[in-house]
Amino acid sequence: MQTSSRLTYIFLALVIVCEASLLLIDIGLFYAHRARVLSGGLYVLKDLIAIVMYAVLYYLIRMQLKRYASPDSPLWLEPAESFWKGFASFGLLLSATVVLGWLLPRSGYDTQSPDGFWRAMSLQTVFKTHLITLGFGSLLLASLVVLERLIFFRRAKNTQSNFLAMVVLMLVASLSEIGSLPQEIGNPVSIAFAALAIVMMLVNAFRLSWVLPLSRSDKIRTLFLVIGILAELVPFYAMDCPNYFLAYSGTVGFFLSSITTFVAIYLATTLFSLLSYLPTSEALERKNSEVRNLYAMSRFASEVFDEEKIYSSLVSYACSAAGASSCGWLDLYQPFDEKSLNAEQAPHLPNLQWKTSKGYFKTVVRQNVSTEHLHEFAAKAHFLWEEMCHNPRQIRVDDIETDSRIVKDATPLTNFLRRLGRKRRKEPAKIVSTLSVPLISRANLIGVLTVAKDVEYGFVKDDVELISTFADQAAIAIQNSRLVREVIDKERMQQELAVAQKIQLRLLPHTPLAVPNYEMDSLSYPAFEVGGDFYDYLALSSSNGSICKFGVMIADVSGKGASAAFYTAELKGIFQSLCTLYPDTPSDLLIRANETLSRSLDRKSFVSALYAIFDVHSHTVRFSNAGHCPMVLLTAEGAQLVKVPGLALGLNAGDLFQRAIRTETLFLKPGDAVVFYTDGLIDAVNSAGEPFGFERLLTLLSAHKHRSASEIKQALFEAVNTFAGAGGSVKDDLTILVIKRCDTPASH
């Protein structure tokens, strides 16, 4: 930065030195003319100094304009702003020239002298020449830089080469005038190159790509500025300003005159271009606005997952596309067989609902329209929502007062009178023509976007296509938002179920009872994270520190999942509280448990249970079955089902359950075992859909009758999994509990 500033100061000093030298030379030439002593060498020196000076001046102006350019703009200077500065600067210089002419009345050139020489009327002419050339010359050099930026906007392949060719031809034509006297300007070489330069000026003058993107207001402003600058060129030529350029220096003056010609040509083509583009500016701006809105809506649809923001943005973009005087609203659709709107959103939404034969529409967002206008419109055009339910499609109403779907048996006369009556109202109609577009995702209707205008026939094909595109984007965004919410809800539910699973596992016994001469083992796998299977064992009495009687219960709550798991927790509490109250008769415990559960179970739920009391001294098992799977008795002869009638808990709270429940007794010999299980075991199916069944259960247990309780449990579990395989499934919760009397004293 310091190097650049130092170089700028050096160049400024060089310009001052050159200008002072040129002024001294011109003063000397003035007196030489009066003495009729002329030297051609001074004119050559004068042109060389002027060339150096204006080359440096061009560099300084270019750097200064670049320094103040907008860094994010493809142009260094905005067109309208540049023309305004050019117009103002040109006007100030013209005003200064007029003032100089008034203050210095004898400051012109006699170009019609008998000897053909341009003679300065006074010494004041020299000073005026330098002031005019320095002022207008700097402005013309700045104009060349500005026009270069405009020409290079959205440049084509040959844009830069064409511009450079024009500048080179102008320079060659100017350099051919080195050493020429003012009256000698225009030799054949310079005229030839100047003619070629004019051809290239015409080529570059049609580089007007910057005109089209201008807004309508900028086009109008630029148009008047261009006309103003062209008007300023008239007094510029009328005051013979180009003659002062040539008197200053033939080479520099010719170049500045060439720039003036190019500026005039470019401004003329700009004027015609602005006049041709101006009638279509409004349509172009609308198209640009539509593209920006569509792009913004596309980004919004891919980044935003808040449904309320999507609703409001959709209506806002649609109204913006339709025009400043439009209004709009969005109705969400809910069929009668689906849940209502989100309970958290409903309190924040306006209470506008339109009922149809298949569901209802709820207005969730509205813009520039009151509830009174909506109710008035709904009373007339209720067919709109009804048709959307049965056949979702674009529905356009060109005039709500004369539409045949709203007004029956209408005639041209009645339609005219209705329109006339609407215009005579004190309050202008807000909704005259409407466009309704359905929001559809996966062939399902989400809602309806309606945009309205206060004029008849307010919507054309372009409006329909654009608003339909907005609706399609919003439908995708809404669907994505709902999917994201479902994923979040699912993850939260999985976390809650994981916690519930840990809690349920704590309800089941972690280790079996240590009972002399008995061993026991168990497992339980829910179909989902939590299940409805339950088992437990509890010591009922003991002697000398050893358990002599214990109770075992296995139960299965109807259904699966969280509701079933809740009832298993309740069942555990009931079992632990009642087993000590009824230590001898299982049926009494089940009857009392049925009375308690009947008050809490819903009508669709019930519990199957099997409760057994083991006496270690007598080796007997007293048990009752409340609608549960029959237990299996495993003896030396094999396995057999022990079926006992009974009714599931919760189905009947009266005498029917008490009459159905019974208590049976079995004697266990050494090596005998009892197997409890839930229906998830026998209902497991293979890939062919064949259930595991009782027959396979008995066959498998018979083959493992001599094994320990843990080995019997593990063999049964592995057999079920092998049977189900990859193509089958265990459809329900699975629980296995094995209790075996040992041949020798043992405990686990």
Q: What is the pTM of this model?
A: 0.54
- C-alpha 715/C-alpha 700 separation (Å) is 8
The two three-digit tokens of residue 395, written as one number: 């529905």
pLDDT band per the 50, 70, 90 thresholds, residue 16:
very high
- C-alpha 625/C-alpha 326 separation (Å) is 74
Query: Helix crossing, 461-507 with 281-303: angle to 10°?
Result: 10
Q: Does residue 334 contact residue 355 with C-beta atoms inside 8 Å? A: no
pLDDT band per the 50, 70, 90 thresholds, residue 305:
low
Q: Does residue 46 contact residue 26 with C-beta atoms inside 8 Å? A: yes
Name the CA dihedral angle for 482, 488, 489, 493, rounded to a multiple of 10 degrees.
160
Q: Give me the pLDDT at residue 180, please.
A: 84
User: Considering only CA atoms, which of 250, 54, 201 is closest in space to residue 136?
Assistant: 54
Across-strand partners of 740? 519, 673
Q: What confidence tens digit (pLDDT) does each residue in 532-542 have?
A: 788 998 899 98
Lowest mean pLDDT: which of 25-39, 83-97, 154-168? 25-39
Summarize the confidence of residues 45-50 as an average pLDDT. 91
pLDDT band per the 50, 70, 90 thresholds, residue 570:
confident
Q: What confidence tens digit (pLDDT) does each residue in 418-435 have?
A: 666 666 565 667 788 899
Q: What confidence tens digit (pLDDT) does each residue in 450-508 have?
A: 999 888 888 878 778 878 887 887 787 777 777 777 787 787 777 766 776 676 677 78
Percent of all residues in the chain with a pLDDT value above 90, rounded to a whole number: 35
Across-strand partners of 334? 360
Distance (Å) of CA 45 to CA 15, 118, 294, 323, 502 = 16, 19, 64, 67, 102
Residues in contact with 715: Cβ distance below 8 Å, sequence separation at least 6, in sequence order: 700, 704, 707
Tell me the residue type at 50.
A
Tell me the residue type at 327.
C
The mean pLDDT of the chain is 83
Q: What confidence tens digit (pLDDT) does each residue in 237-293 have?
A: 988 889 899 989 989 999 999 999 999 999 999 999 999 888 876 666 666 666 666
The two three-digit tokens of residue 388, written as one number: 């959307």
The two three-digit tokens of residue 410, written as one number: 């209408």
Q: Give me the pLDDT at residue 343, please.
A: 41
Across-strand partners of 522? 737
Q: Give me the pLDDT at residue 712, please.
A: 93
The two three-digit tokens of residue 705, written as one number: 């009758």
- C-alpha 26/C-alpha 32 separation (Å) is 9
Lowest mean pLDDT: which of 204-208, 298-302, 655-659? 298-302
Percent of all residues in the chain with a pLDDT value above 70, rounded to a whole number: 85
Q: Give me the pLDDT at residue 141, please.
A: 94
412/522: higher pLDDT = 522
Q: Does residue 126 contact residue 19 with C-beta atoms inside 8 Å? A: no
- C-alpha 579/C-alpha 584 separation (Å) is 9
- C-alpha 737/C-alpha 724 separation (Å) is 20
Instruction: Using the predicted structure, report yes or no on whether residue 363 has a pLDDT greater than 50.
Output: yes
Q: Does residue 442 contact residue 271 with C-beta atoms inside 8 Å? A: no
The two three-digit tokens of residue 651, written as one number: 């189905």
